[in-house]
Amino acid sequence: MTISSRLAITTLALAAFLPVAHAQTTPVETTAPLTLEECVARALEKNFDVSLQRLTTSSAANDVQIAKGTYDPVLGLDTSRTFNKSAPDTTIITTTDPTTGAVTTSSQSSFSTKSTTDDTRLSVSQKIVTGATVTATGVLDRNERRPSTTSGLNPAYTGNVGLVVKQPLLKGAGTGVNRAAIERAKLGLSRSNSDLKSTVLTVVRNVESAYYNLVFAREQREVRRFSLEVAQKLLEENKARRATGVATDLEVLQSEVGVANAQRDLVLSNQTVRNNEDSLMQLIGRFEFDQVPGKVRFNDESTPAVSFDQSFKLARDNTPDYLSSALAIEQYKLDVKTTKNARMPQVDLTGQVGQASKENSYNRASNEVWNGKGYNWQLDLSVSMPWGMRADSARYRSAQIVLTREQTHLQQIEQNILVQVRSVIRAVETSLENVRITSLALELSQKQFEQEKARYEAGLSTFRFVQQSQAELDTARVNALQAKVNLRFAYADLSKLEGSSLGRYKISLAAQ
């Protein structure tokens, strides 16, 4: 049994169970071309990593509003009614009879009193950037006693207005310390925007990689398909030559083996294509695996000149990790400032002024309170301090260590950028040269195959040399494709480092 017969039987056996699974998993083929720009646009819209980072950035924007909310006015309203009934007082009266000297004791009870008090308080409190808390209050009271024991107003309506200012003098004092939370939240938002930029650049780079990998896989599949066609044609020619007595059975068998190997290579290429199609769809869609990406191709782009100095400057200015680390240093400087301030004693100065009125109605009490018939003022100074300040001193030292660590990390990032740019520049230069060399090698292999095939047809060579020449041609084609892909990978890496991918694909990242 020949190899081609065994292959036919194997194919029929596999067909008995493959079609069902194949029908369930094979997506629909599409013929519309799919450009790299379309893939990037779809990824920015549907990629999970980008969507998650956008949500994180939105959360960071809310953190800024939360920090600012510390300085929003706080309104307060309290109202209450109090009722009190006092127990009656009992008076013991002792009398002595002057004649007999007898002592008598008696008791006398007074009436119990009842009082009702209505109290309503309105306040507005606000913290200001110096650390002070300003509170304005307004009070209306109603007091009634039954039975009345005084000649004053009953019920009596009392009005009070006051202003209280509490200002820390050491710990918690100053605009720098009190605005630190807001500034830190703003820096956190900027860092989140940098992280979003980093995510977008990474996704763009991954999309470019997946796109070019798919281009390579499909082009390689065409090479394998062409090799199969050549192998089948050679098999037919050898069978015809054997029929005329020119070729031997061994040469026909060699041709059948060549066809089998070409079929195997084509099957493996199909598998690689399907895997790369899924990888691209995973980046640019959400569970959209029911369709195969359309036609993809290498972009006909000019090869721009590269410059290390220019690329390094762009990379340092646009690398999100570098920018994020620089912003983190500013955050940690704020932490050092606040923890240093926290080591000071708590010294608070409180001032309070107010005016009061007492009238026979709510209306008169609220109006007369502004006339200043009654007034008060108070000035307080309080001091408190933990013994030894051990915890606050430790927090200050920890903040200094964190700041120093992040400054060192920034230097490390800058060094990494330097090394990465140097490596990518070399990769671009090497890839350019490799493209030129593989193109020449492909041209040479094509001519050698044609000459060897012509020599074989003329009886001046053997089929083994033809197969070897064909294998070399296939290798040269794949190497030329790989060189083109590697060049685009190198440019993609350089664009990611420089941040120029955003401009090339017209991506605008509006800062929140």
Return the ∠ at Cα 419 (arms to 417 and 421), rounded to 5°: 65
Are residues 328 and 470 part of one domain?
Answer: yes
> What span, in angstroms and rounded, lies between the C-alpha atoms of 130 and 387?
26
11 in a structural domain: no
Residue 497 has pLDDT above 70, yes or no: yes
Give per-residue pLDDT as tens, 370-415: 887 888 999 999 999 888 788 999 999 999 999 999 999 999 999 9
Are residues 403 and 268 part of one domain?
Answer: yes
Boundary residue ending a domain (384, 406, 441) = 384
The pLDDT value given to residue 18: 38
Residue 28 has pLDDT above 70, yes or no: no
123 in a structural domain: yes
Residue 308 has pLDDT above 70, yes or no: yes
Are residues 420 and 359 part of one domain?
Answer: no
Q: How confident is the model at residue 122 (pLDDT cuts 50, 70, 90)?
A: very high
> What span, in angstroms and rounded, lies between the C-alpha atoms of 225 and 253?
20
More confident position, 360 or 339:
339
Least confident of 173-187, 260-274, 451-465: 451-465
9 in a structural domain: no
Number of folded domains that form the chain: 2
Residue 8 has pLDDT above 60, yes or no: no
Are residues 409 and 307 part of one domain?
Answer: yes
473 in a structural domain: yes
Are residues 294 and 236 part of one domain?
Answer: yes
157 in a structural domain: yes
The pLDDT value given to residue 5: 45
Residue 339 has pLDDT above 60, yes or no: yes
More confident position, 167 or 304:
167
Q: In this prediction, what percent of the chain has a pLDDT beyond 70?
A: 88
DSSP one-letter code for 69: G
- Under a CB-based contact definition with an 8 Å cutoff, are residues 187 and 331 in contact? yes
Q: Residue 248 sits in which domain range? A: 28-66+181-335+396-504
Q: How confident is the model at residue 275 (pLDDT cuts 50, 70, 90)?
A: very high
The pLDDT value given to residue 106: 65
The pLDDT value given to residue 108: 61
Give per-residue pLDDT as tens, 156-169: 889 899 999 999 99
Q: What is the pairing mode between strands 374-384 and 133-146?
A: unpaired
Are residues 160 and 196 part of one domain?
Answer: no
Residue 27 has pLDDT above 70, yes or no: no
More confident position, 109 or 458:
458
The pLDDT value given to residue 2: 44
Q: In this prediction, what percent of the chain has a pLDDT beyond 90?
A: 42
295 in a structural domain: yes
Residue 480 has pLDDT above 70, yes or no: yes
311 in a structural domain: yes
Residue 269 has pLDDT above 80, yes or no: yes
DSSP one-letter code for 423: H
Q: What is the CATH number of the domain that holds 403?
A: 1.20.1600.10
Residue 146 has pLDDT above 50, yes or no: yes
Are residues 431 and 470 part of one domain?
Answer: yes
The pLDDT value given to residue 335: 94
Are residues 310 and 413 part of one domain?
Answer: yes
Give per-residue pLDDT as tens, 32-91: 788 888 899 989 888 888 889 999 999 999 999 999 999 999 999 999 999 888 777 666
Are residues 403 and 309 part of one domain?
Answer: yes
The pLDDT value given to residue 444: 93
The predicted model scores a pTM of: 0.76
> What span, in angstroms and rounded, lies between the C-alpha atoms of 392 and 386?
9
Mean pLDDT, the chain, rounded, equals 85
The pLDDT value given to residue 373: 82
Q: Which residues of 443-482 are buried (b: 16+ CB within 10 A; e: fewer)?
A: eebeebbeebbeebeeeebebeebbebbebbbebbbbbbb
